[in-house]
Structures are given as structure tokens and as C-alpha cells.
């Protein structure tokens, strides 16, 4: 929308967080609280102003967004004073949306409704109905028209019974906002300049205060401590899970699923309990993920089976592949079509060819592996010499016996066989059997050491 300014108040320290990070930099899902609010503001507004105070340098560095206009509130004198720091940079012939950097679940659709109402009346505020309104400013209405907002500490007994409360989120004609801010005073229990006092001023001027009532309290809930942060995390995850299930994803227990990023999926995908998705993840059709897996920045094909307790990060998994259980697929791994990565296998920066199998207890790093390769239990590519990494090449059809070490750089030719227990430090020709073992012997004079 054009000619709309967002003013996001983010100057609070958040003492109750007991953290060295400012409150707005606490993380919910994969974003800071402030980033969640910014995402909605930037989608709706032509300009975004963020008012910062304590810890401002840390906040600015963390976001590092050139589209943000940073405004400093050097003294903490209330919400009205905070908004006033941004108004010198805003044109009178615009409208201003006031948001809070610690209210992460505010919905774009709600803000659109609020902006529409303000464009008609000049002033619109967002309220919510609470069963327990303690601590919040009460909305005072007469003949259903908003007359004022009374803060908890300034409310009388009758006003304290009101369940409709102010969320602090409002939209105003910018010219009106500037005029009213200039008339604020600190004659209240807190000794602060309340932004909410401008509502009574607007009513006195004969303005009709439009309003939107939020659908649920979590949408407008602020975060003041780690308990509230955890509560909103669960709400956020529940909302995501419901959306995914409506789009066709099967979640065995949506309460035990976390998506901390972006998840795209095909048809007939199934995710079991305690799965964590991070970053950008995509699943092809008919892919299943078993319990206790972590999937981060991965492209996973169709008909893939990921077995329990597996970790996949920055990797590509081909169609029909099987991963796990207890497998770790590290960055820059590309697991080919119908390949098998079995239990307690780690793959890093390697390409595993179509139909190849690494079934048990192996480490494969910096390796190019062809198609139809069979790797026995306990095989290791020794890719690091203490200074540099080196590559192992295993061509199509190779069979590697258990407990083999490849001392990279080394190339194993097509259809070669490596005998179990070998240490391979030289290239192996294709189609041949290679092994390195000493002749088995029994040492007659050897004695078992005795513990001293």
C-alpha cells in the first residue's frame, strides 16, 4: 500500500528476559520477534521506521536491513514519546501504523482491515476481548463508540470490569498524529507520555474512532519473558501445522512437530513425531520421515524414506533413496536415486551414485561414488591429512569389504573388489581384487599385560 508508514516501537530492554540480547532480538521459530513484525509491516507499508533505545546498536547490527529507517529514543518516556521520535520524518498527508516489536504473531489481514478503517475515519485502533484483562488499558465506549482508553493504574472499579482492552496497535492520519502527540502530558500514575491519550483527544475533536477486534488474543500477545516466548512458539507451530495439514501433509502428532523455516511438500507425504524442519526444505511425493529427525536446508525427492533419528543438512536426496536410522547427511552431500545410507553412516561433501549402498557404521567424505557400489560395514574414507582435504573416487560396481580405509587421494576402478580389512593407499585397477593384510600368525611368547 502506498503512503503508509509503519512505526515499530522496539526500544524496550526486556529486563524480564534475563538475557544480554534486547527483547526484540529473542527468537521465535526462525526469526527474531522484530523480524516477524517487520515482515508484516514491509508487506503493507511504503516506509518502515523502527524506534530503538537500549541495545540499539545490537538491534541495528542484527537486522542489517537498508530498507529500515532507524530512529533512536534516548530516554524511555513512554509510548507517545517513542512515536514522536519518528514523526519528524513522516509527511502529514500520509497515514501511520503503530506496531510493537515484541508482538510477533500479528496477522497481515488484521492490519489491512485496520488500515482500511483508518482511511475512512482518520483514526482506528485494534482491540481484543480478554477473559482476564488485568494489566491492560481498557476500551471505554459510549453507545458502542470508543471514547477513550484508560490504563490499568488509572482505571476506577467500574472500568476495571471491562474485558475489551487496547492492544496498542493503531492507525492514524499522520497530520492528526503529530498534532495530538504535541499535546500529550505525563499527568498519570506512570509519569509517562501515553500514546493512548490521543484517542480521547480525537473524540473531543468530534472524530469517530474506528476499531477492529482481533480474532484471538495470541495474535496481539506481547512477549515479556521466556515463558511467554515459549507459549507463543507453540501457538506459532500449531498454526503452521494446521496449515500444512489442510494442504495435505500428514502429521502423526502436530503438537510434536516444529518447522523453523519453509517447508514445501508433494502429495501423500507423512511426518512422524519429534521432527524438526529448519531453513528451506522440500519433499517430493510419497516421502515419509520417521520420528526424531532433523532436516535442514534439504531437497528430498519422491518416494524417499527417512528412518528414525537421522540428521540431514544442506543436502540433496534423490528419488527412492533410503536414509537411516541414525544416519547423518552433512552439507554438500548428494545422495543418488535409490541409494541406501544405513544406520550410523555419515556422508559429507560427497556424491553417492544411483543404487549404491552404504549400510553400516561408515564415514564417507569428499568422495565421488558411482552407481551400484556396495560399501561394507566400518569403511572409512581418510580424506584429511591434518592440513588439507583429499578426494576419493569409487567408480561404478565396486564392492568394498568391511573395515576398509581409503587413504585419499585414491581412485578405485570400475567393478573392482576390495578385500575386508584393507588399507588402500594406491589406485586400484578396475575389475581386480585388491587387499592389504599381513599373514595371520600366533605369537607364542606374547603375554597379556597385567594391570599395575
Give the pLDDT of residue 442. Answer: 77
Q: What is the pTM assigned to this prediction?
A: 0.90
Strand 47-52 and strand 4-10: pairing?
parallel
Query: Using an 8 Å Cβ cutoff, are 107 and 182 in contact?
Result: no
Contacts of 131 (CB under 8 A, 6+ apart): 163
Give the pLDDT of residue 109. Answer: 95
Q: How far apart are CA 265 and CA 330, in angstroms?
A: 21
CATH architecture, domain 4-220 = Alpha-Beta Complex (3.90)
Average pLDDT over residues 320-324: 98
Q: How confident is the model at residue 1 (pLDDT cuts 50, 70, 90)?
A: low
- The CA-CA-CA angle for residues 172, 177, 179, to 5°, reads 150
Q: How far apart are CA 285 and CA 297, in angstroms?
A: 18
Give the pLDDT of residue 158. Answer: 94
Give the pLDDT of residue 64. Answer: 84
Cell of 402: 568391511
Per-residue pLDDT reduced to its tens digit, 185-207: 888 778 888 898 898 899 999 89
Q: How far is CA 90 from CA 35, 69, 351, in A?
A: 22, 11, 55
**Distance from the first to the final alpha carbon of the chain:** 82
Strand 164-173 and strand 123-129: pairing?
antiparallel
Per-residue pLDDT reduced to its tens digit, 34-79: 999 999 999 999 999 999 987 788 999 999 888 999 999 988 889 9
Contacts of 264 (CB under 8 A, 6+ apart): 281, 282, 283
Q: How far apart are CA 420 and CA 400, in angstroms?
A: 7
Q: How far is CA 125 from CA 113, 121, 128, 177, 185, in A?
A: 10, 11, 10, 13, 21
Per-residue pLDDT reduced to its tens digit, 164-190: 999 999 999 999 999 999 999 888 778
Residues carrying an active site annotation: 360
Q: Output the 3-class SS for 171-224.
A: EEEHHHHHHHHCCCCCCCCCCCCCCCHHHHHHHHCCCCCEEEECCCHHHHCCCC
DSSP symbol at 128: E
Q: Output the CATH code of domain 226-434.
A: 2.160.10.10
Q: How far apart are CA 412 and CA 392, in angstroms?
A: 8
Give the pLDDT of residue 40. Answer: 96
Per-residue pLDDT reduced to its tens digit, 328-343: 999 999 999 999 999 9
Query: Using an 8 Å Cβ cutoff, are 372 and 396 in contact?
Result: yes
Per-residue pLDDT reduced to its tens digit, 431-444: 999 999 878 777 78
Mean pLDDT for the chain overall: 94
Q: How far apart are CA 422 and CA 414, in angstroms?
A: 18
Per-residue pLDDT reduced to its tens digit, 396-445: 999 999 999 999 999 999 999 999 999 999 999 999 999 998 787 777 88
Per-residue pLDDT reduced to its tens digit, 71-111: 999 888 899 999 999 999 999 999 999 999 999 999 999 99
Q: How confident is the model at residue 13 (pLDDT cuts 50, 70, 90)?
A: confident
Q: How far is C-alpha 132 from the chain's CA centre? A: 31
Q: How confident is the model at residue 261 (pLDDT cuts 50, 70, 90)?
A: very high
Give the pLDDT of residue 186. Answer: 82
Cell of 96: 501511520
Query: Using an 8 Å Cβ cutoff, are 138 and 149 in contact?
Result: yes
Spans of all domains in the chain: 4-220, 226-434
Q: How far is CA 373 from CA 12, 234, 253, 282, 355, in A?
A: 59, 44, 38, 27, 7
- What is the share, in percent, of the chain residues with pLDDT greater than 90? 84
Q: Which residues pair with 141 in a beta bridge?
A: 146
Amino acid at each position: 500500500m502506498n503512503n503508509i508508514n509503519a512505526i515499530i516501537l522496539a526500544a524496550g530492554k526486556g529486563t524480564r528476559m534475563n538475557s544480554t540480547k534486547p527483547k526484540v532480538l529473542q527468537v521465535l521459530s526462525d526469526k527474531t520477534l522484530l523480524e516477524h513484525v517487520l515482515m508484516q509491516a514491509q508487506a503493507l507499508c511504503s516506509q518502515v521506521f523502527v524506534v530503538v533505545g537500549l541495545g540499539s546498536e545490537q538491534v541495528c547490527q542484527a537486522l542489517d536491513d537498508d530498507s529500515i529507517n532507524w530512529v533512536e529514543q534516548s530516554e524511555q518516556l513512554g509510548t507517545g514519546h517513542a512515536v514522536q521520535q519518528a514523526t519528524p520524518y513522516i509527511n502529514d498527508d500520509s497515514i501511520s501504523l503503530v506496531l510493537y516489536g515484541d508482538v510477533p504473531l500479528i496477522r497481515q489481514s488484521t492490519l489491512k482491515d485496520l488500515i482500511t478503517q483508518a482511511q475512512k475515519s482518520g483514526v482506528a485502533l485494534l482491540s481484543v476481548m480478554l477473559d482476564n484483562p488485568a494489566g491492560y488499558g481498557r476500551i471505554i465506549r459510549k453507545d458502542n463508540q470508543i471514547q477513550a482508553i484508560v490504563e490499568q493504574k488509572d482505571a476506577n472499579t467500574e472500568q476495571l470490569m471491562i474485558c475489551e482492552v487496547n492492544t496498542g496497535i493503531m492507525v492514524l492520519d499522520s497530520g492528526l498524529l503529530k498534532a495530538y502527540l504535541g499535546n500529550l502530558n505525563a499527568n498519570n500514575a506512570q509519569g509517562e507520555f501515553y500514546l493512548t491519550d490521543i484517542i480521547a483527544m480525537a473524540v473531543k475533536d468530534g472524530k469517530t474512532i474506528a476499531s477492529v477486534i482481533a480474532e484471538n488474543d495470541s495474535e496481539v500477545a506481547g512477549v515479556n519473558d521466556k515463558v511467554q516466548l515459549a507459549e507463543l512458539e507453540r501457538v506459532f507451530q500449531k498454526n503452521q501445522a494446521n496449515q500444512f495439514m489442510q494442504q495435505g501433509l500428514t502429521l502423526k502428532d502436530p503438537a510434536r512437530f516444529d518447522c523453523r523455516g519453509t517447508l514445501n511438500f508433494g502429495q501423500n507425504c507423512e511426518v512422524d513425531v519429534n521432527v524438526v524442519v529448519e531453513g528451506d526444505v522440500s519433499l517430493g511425493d510419497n516421502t515419509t520421515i520417521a520420528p526424531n529427525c532433523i532436516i535442514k536446508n534439504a531437497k528430498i525427492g519422491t518416494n524417499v524414506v527417512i528412518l528414525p533419528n537421522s540428521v540431514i543438512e544442506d543436502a540433496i536426496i534423490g528419488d527412492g533413496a533410503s536414509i537411516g536410522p541414525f544416519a547423518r547427511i552433512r552439507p554438500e552431500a548428494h545422495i543418488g536415486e535409490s541409494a541406501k545410507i544405513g544406520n550410523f553412516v555419515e556422508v559429507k561433501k560427497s556424491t553417492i551414485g544411483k543404487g549404491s549402498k552404504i549400510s553400516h557404521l561408515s564415514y564417507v567424505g569428499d568422495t565421488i561414488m558411482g552407481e551400484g557400489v556396495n560399501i561394507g560395514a566400518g569403511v572409512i574414507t581418510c580424506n584429511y591429512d591434518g592440513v588439507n582435504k583429499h578426494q576419493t573416487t569409487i567408480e561404478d560396481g565396486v564392492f568394498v569389504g568391511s573395515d576398509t580405509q581409503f587413504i585419499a587421494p585414491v581412485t578405485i576402478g570400475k567393478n573392482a573388489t576390495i578385500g575386508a580389512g584393507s588399507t588402500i593407499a594406491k589406485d586400484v585397477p578396475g575389475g581386480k581384487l585388491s587387499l592389504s593384510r599381513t599373514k595371520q600368525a600366533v605369537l607364542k611368547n606374547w603375554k597379556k599385560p597385567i594391570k599395575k
